[in-house]
Structure 1
Amino acid sequence: MTTSLLLQLSSLSAALLVPSTLAATPAQWRSRSIYQVLTDRFARADNSTVHPCDVTLNEYCGGTWKGIEYKLDYISNMGFDAIWISPITKNTADGYHGYYQTDLYSLNSNFGTAQDLKDLSQALHDRNMYLMVDVVTNHFGSETADDIDYASFVPFNDSSYFHSYCEIDYDNQTSAEICWLYDNLPDLRTEDQDVVDAYSTWIGELVANYSIDGLRIDSVKDVDKASMPPFCEAAGVYCLGELSNNDPSYAYPYQDVLNGGGIINYPIYFSFNETFIYSGHATTADLAYNIYLDRNNSVDSTLHGTFTENHDNPRVAWHNPDITVAANAIGWTLLTDGIPIIYYGQEQHLAGADDPGCREAMWLEENGSYNTTAPLHNTTAYLNQVRTWAVQNSANYTTTKNVALNYSDSQIAMQKDVIRTILTFAGEGQVASTFTTVGAGFGAGVTVVDVISCATYTATSAGEVTVGIGGGAMVVMLTAGFLAGSTICGY
């Protein structure tokens, strides 16, 4: 490490009071259900429902950490026990999303003060909820592409810490790691030990200062792989790496460099959406095969982040407005393998297009304004309740891997431990029909409850059931005996 960087880090670290904190392990994260918020767009501290936010302007709209704290009842009442917030470091004037950082050791004042962030962390922990913070290790941000002021960056205040500009060729791994995402995002030399050491020092202090329980790491595929193990080790918490790639053989091995963490599961995201959301792009057989690849190609598929919406991609309802398809997407997210991640507003059926369209202001009345009676809000809360019951009452639920059972043209049945789920992309106009499981493994003659309709069925001697499906509704089945005491469907 250069002398100048050593002195910077020593000075910056001395100014920080680092309290003790208990790290949340990957195993502890398995049971969690994450609600992702784009800090600037989720909640304002003044509780406004009219403050304007034009997503096309790419500017700050006023969401804050204090606003999130004030809405924790809304989040926790849906059954979420973790939140993921935007990067918290100081950004450029147009870095409302948090990914254009300029100073690792200063917070983004648009989101609040250090005390506000500590208050949010404390409020979460008081509710037994976890805090996941987004972090950027690949690049810094500049307001312009011309005459980048490297001296203003902290702690990497010289161009020698960055690669020279080049355009990325994503078919070449070296190019992905050394070239720039955009011409105003200087790419850090994460292969250099002084950069690795600086990041490791910073992240250890950040986690301790704000009692952070987990990290979502941006653009993992664009950093030097060898930089990730010491970074995650220094953090001492669960690391969830983001790489937007649909190739399982490329994406899943990244779990090895994240110290037993997981990846944002883009391979299964693309497979599910191509089957259920982009009508006709793929078949249920394709999805079943990708479930198999997830189980068998991952180091541990139960540690990935499972999602169907996020801040970088068009929302489900933009592709397909059918609300029952959206409900099935939420069912998939919450009941398949991995740690489920629901993106803010998904429960309000927001329909934003590609970035920046999918970054709506949640507080506006036309976007739902935290409507607790919205159909998808209730679906989300209910399925979280079902999942939580399984997590708390089956010793194997979180570690058992999801299996695709059988499928038809528009339905697929899957099993994760005690829960068997049948999802359909037929939509609201689906004619009532029946579906018979294959390999469900219920005990002969046991009573099986579809907790969506509360209808009951008796398993055959082979342990299968034939259930009614109609109107695009999913089927979520547990045995009546397992449900006893849950209050679900009156049991």
Structure 2
Amino acid sequence: MKPRNILSAIIQLVSVLECVSPVLALGKDEWRRQSIYSIITDRFAASNPAPCNPEDRAYCGGNWRGIIEHLDYIQGLGFTAIWISPIVKNIEGVTKYGEAYHGYWPQDFFELNPHFGTEDDLRELVSELHKRGMYIMVDTVVNHMGSLDPKSIDFASYRPFNNEGYFHPMCPIDQDDPLSIEQCWIGTEHMTLPDIDTESPEVIEILHNFISDLVKKYEFDGLRIDATKHVRRTFWPGFCEAAGVYCQGELWTGDPAQFCEWQDYMDGLHNFPVQGVAAQAVVPINDRGLRKTAYAMDRVGKLCKDSTVLGLFLESQDAPRMAALNKDVNVLKNAMLFNLMGDGIPIVFYGQEQMFDGSHDPFNRPAMWDKGYNTDGVLYQFTSKVNSIRTALINAPGGEEFIRSKSKIMMVGDHVMLMYKGDVITLVTNYGSKDKEYIIKMPSSETMVDLLSCQMIEQSDSIMKTSVKRGEPKLLYPYVLAMRDGFCLDELVVQDAIDDVMFPGNEIRGPDLN
């Protein structure tokens, strides 16, 4: 028999929380316009940094105040939002898999993780982001609690679910049984995560109150939801409605059909079907990676309710770093361009811009301060430039159409892919910095500009011809719109002046503008 008196205690606790100003709810339409930098709080920045060995799987000292001190670094990359790892108190102690520095083994939903700072620190982080016109998404775990010993679980130590009756009975997950995936316990013989009974009306009410108050108290703008598929899908609409902000769930599957079904229950999802093949497209021996990526994009675009509000990513704490798969800087630039200009809300994992090269956990989760915050690096500067272009395109006339458009694949081969989105053509390659040249011809009635190099693209008799050398990516935009929107203005004015000398009487070499 589950205890019933705890609900009144929780309600009483909630009622005495300090009053805060109402949060401005940020929905999917606003998040579609953002570009997200994903952070493991313990590993991104520390107010008092010390050397960190990721192999120890221990707390390294990263905190919210450290993030505050490095917001210039993030904003300099052009990101408009951050996603931070879970904030609530986790179990203490060392397990077979280390300490809970990542935040996914909760113990107390109503207390912050003291390793990351105080309530004031978290409030200041949110406030500083909002002052900059930036937003914050917080990672959320409601499927389970943490446990040090799978053979002796201290349910009384949990808050608010301090009784075994609040949990599903322990059972191993059978991946072929949907009910088992939802109700059995994530874990191994060395560690298990007690699964919360989210079918219980009492539990549902507690969780709805919890997330509503958390979002309002700290003025969060969005939620990232861990282990989405391990909770029955009909739970999520009410939970996200209670939060009042956009939710983006972790639904780990490469099957577009299975994946897209979940968008009936949650607006946003991490785009695993595209990530799984796009990340592999940078592997040198994988000459069909771009073709598979194009196919996955097409399937997701057709089957999902709205692929433009999915999270597009290549790296995460559970995946290899791109530089672990290929260290060629031009391949990594192409990967970043795809990450930022493809369909959906771009998500870049901390250190991707520094070419971190850990191939797996724990080596793909190093302390940023041990690697350095180099703002002069090639990929940092490239990321900043592409993000700035994306933001400008969104804010330009027709920007809403651009951000809501699904990419059309104009051409795809073993090493080249062209995506058409709105008025923008994104050209990515994966053959790398080789002394090799591709000549690409396509129908075009407009003179185009490469926004990355500010070079005009040759156009004659309604045929555009561009040369791809040494695997450099391109971002093509109509010349007329580039002049209208202020892209490459200084460079194009210089080119026009040269044209006036070489081609007298022609103000603009290109299409008739009359």
From 312, 332, 354, the counterpart of 2:360: 354
* Equivalent residue number for residue 382 of structure 1: 385
* Equivalent residue number for residue 505 of structure 2: none
* Equivalent residue number for residue 38 of structure 1: 40
Deviations 1:314-369 (A, max 9, x none): 111112222211111110110010000011000000001212221110011xx2x1
* Equivalent residue number for residue 400 of structure 1: 405
CA displacement at 1:269 relative to structure 2: 0.3
Q: In 2, distance between residues paired with 1:274 and 1:4?
A: 52
SS in 1 for 2:418: strand
Q: In 2, distance between residues paired with 1:303 and 1:279?
A: 32
Q: In 1, distance between residues paired with 2:6 and 2:448?
A: 63
| 8 A contact 1:191–1:226 mirrored in 2 | no
Deviations 1:256-298 (A, max 9, x none): 111xx21000001012123333632734332222111121111
* Equivalent residue number for residue 496 of structure 2: none
| 8 A contact 1:277–1:325 mirrored in 2 | no
SS in 2 for 1:398: helix
From 18, 22, 25, the counterpart of 2:24: 22
Deviations 1:409-458 (A, max 9, x none): 200100111210110010111502212236xxx4x2x3211122322124
Stretch of structure 1 that moved more, 123-132 or 321-330: 321-330
SS in 1 for 2:13: helix
| 8 A contact 1:140–1:186 mirrored in 2 | yes
Q: In 1, distance between residues paired with 2:39 and 2:284?
A: 25
Q: In 1, distance between residues paired with 2:201 and 2:341?
A: 41
Q: Determine whether 1:466 maps to 2:474.
A: no
* Equivalent residue number for residue 475 of structure 2: 476
From 321, 324, 334, the counterpart of 1:318: 324
Stretch of structure 1 that moved more, 330-339 or 348-357: 348-357
* Structure 2 CA distance for partners of 1:489 and 1:472, relative to 1, 3 Å: farther
Over the aligned positions, Cα root-mean-square deviation in angstroms equals: 1.6
Q: In 1, distance between residues paired with 2:348 and 2:442?
A: 28
Q: What letter matches 1:306 in structure 2?
A: L
SS in 1 for 2:145: coil
Q: In 1, distance between residues paired with 2:460 and 2:211?
A: 55
Q: In 2, distance between residues paired with 1:402 and 1:13?
A: 45
* Equivalent residue number for residue 328 of structure 1: 334
1:104-115 alignment runs, 5 A limit: 104-115=109-120
* Equivalent residue number for residue 164 of structure 1: 169
Q: In 2, distance between residues paired with 1:92 and 1:460?
A: 66
* Structure 2 CA distance for partners of 1:143 and 1:278, relative to 1, 3 Å: farther
SS in 2 for 1:465: strand
* Equivalent residue number for residue 209 of structure 1: 217
Q: What letter matches 1:235 in structure 2?
A: A
Deviations 1:95-127 (A, max 9, x none): 100100101100001000011000000000001
- Give ranges in structure 2 of 5+ residues lacking alignment: 93-98, 493-514
* Equivalent residue number for residue 250 of structure 1: 258
* Structure 2 CA distance for partners of 1:227 and 1:43, relative to 1, 3 Å: same
SS in 1 for 2:9: helix
* Structure 2 CA distance for partners of 1:162 and 1:430, relative to 1, 3 Å: farther
* Equivalent residue number for residue 174 of structure 1: 179
| 8 A contact 1:62–1:110 mirrored in 2 | yes
Deviations 1:435-485 (A, max 9, x none): 2236xxx4x2x32111223221244554x5221101121111011222224
| 8 A contact 1:216–1:242 mirrored in 2 | yes
From 291, 294, 308, the counterpart of 1:288: 294
Stretch of structure 1 that moved more, 127-136 or 162-171: 162-171
* Structure 2 CA distance for partners of 1:300 and 1:313, relative to 1, 3 Å: same
Q: In 2, distance between residues paired with 1:411 and 1:387?
A: 21
* Equivalent residue number for residue 307 of structure 2: 301
TM-score, normalised via structure 2 length: 0.90
TM-score, normalised via structure 1 length: 0.94
Q: In 1, distance between residues paired with 2:420 and 2:381?
A: 23
| 8 A contact 1:335–1:387 mirrored in 2 | yes
CA displacement at 1:242 relative to structure 2: 0.4
Identity between Structure 1 and Structure 2 (%): 37
Deviations 1:18-72 (A, max 9, x none): 42111001100111000001000000113x3xx1111111110000011101111
Deviations 1:125-165 (A, max 9, x none): 00110110000011110122221110110100111111222
* Equivalent residue number for residue 140 of structure 1: 145
Q: What letter matches 2:338 in structure 1?
A: W
CA displacement at 1:487 relative to structure 2: 4.5
Q: In 1, distance between residues paired with 2:453 and 2:390?
A: 16
| 8 A contact 2:37–2:79 mirrored in 1 | yes
From 241, 247, 267, the counterpart of 2:249: 241
Aligned residues: 477
* Equivalent residue number for residue 73 of structure 2: 74
Q: What letter matches 1:144 in structure 2?
A: D
Q: Determine whether 1:53 maps to 2:58.
A: no
* Equivalent residue number for residue 220 of structure 1: 228
Stretch of structure 1 that moved more, 397-406 or 208-217: 397-406
Q: In 2, distance between residues paired with 1:197 and 1:2?
A: 14
Q: In 2, distance between residues paired with 1:235 and 1:320?
A: 40
Q: Determine whether 1:84 maps to 2:83.
A: yes
* Equivalent residue number for residue 136 of structure 2: 131
| 8 A contact 1:18–1:208 mirrored in 2 | no
Q: In 2, distance between residues paired with 1:486 and 1:170?
A: 53
Q: Determine whether 1:263 maps to 2:269.
A: yes
* Equivalent residue number for residue 425 of structure 1: 430
* Structure 2 CA distance for partners of 1:430 and 1:203, relative to 1, 3 Å: farther
Q: In 1, distance between residues paired with 2:269 and 2:68?
A: 27
| 8 A contact 1:18–1:205 mirrored in 2 | no
| 8 A contact 1:405–1:437 mirrored in 2 | no
CA displacement at 1:489 relative to structure 2: 6.1
SS in 1 for 2:46: coil
- Give ranges in structure 1 of 5+ residues lacking alignment: none
From 339, 349, 356, the counterpart of 2:345: 339
Q: Determine whether 1:277 maps to 2:278.
A: no
